[in-house]
Amino acid sequence: EVKLVESGGGLVQPGRSLKLSCAASGFSFNDYWMGWVRQAPGKGLEWIGEINQDSSTINYTPSLKDKFTISRDNAQNTLYLQMSKLGSEDTAIYYCARGGYGWWGQGVMVTVSS
């Protein structure tokens, strides 16, 4: 069974950094693109970006390109999202998804507040 489990969320102060993880199981992780999507409270879905199988191609939504970094560790079957210079506008549920977006994690909440 495909499983994606995000972790690393929580309360963080404005201007600080946070790194999210997404542990994958039930499929051959290194065969798939992986992506991140977020959803602010009561709002719609916003695509953050995605990374290909060998990390040679990483695409971002332009407004987040300078703040967020996507990476992966195929040996650990784990996807990462490094977030820096966080502001209140980054408060959201963060989802990881397998390429094709047919499988999503349960999401992890990030709250940016002092």
Partner 1 sequence: DIVMTQSPSSLAVSAGETVTINCKSSQSLFGSVRQKNYLAWYQQKPGQSPKLLIYLASTRESGVPDRFIGSGSGTDFTLTISSVQAEDLANYYCQQYYDTPLTFGSGTKLEIK
Binding-site ranges for partner 1 (CB under 8 A):
35, 37, 44-47, 49-50, 59-62, 95, 100-102, 104-107
**CB-wise, 13 or 71, nearer to partner 1?**
71
Shortest distance (Å) from residue 15 CB to partner 1 = 25
CA distances from 75 to 21, 29, 31, 32, 40 (A): 14, 9, 12, 14, 31
**CB-wise, 42 or 114, nearer to partner 1?**
42
**CB-wise, 53 or 61, nearer to partner 1?**
61
Spatial contact of 46 and 34, defined as CB atoms under 8 Å apart: no
Shortest distance (Å) from residue 48 CB to partner 1 = 9
Q: What residues pair up with 10 in beta bridges, in sequence order?
A: 110
Shortest distance (Å) from residue 13 CB to partner 1 = 27
Can you spell out the DSSP letters for 54-79? TSS-EEE-GGGTTTEEEEEETTTTEE
Shortest distance (Å) from residue 46 CB to partner 1 = 7
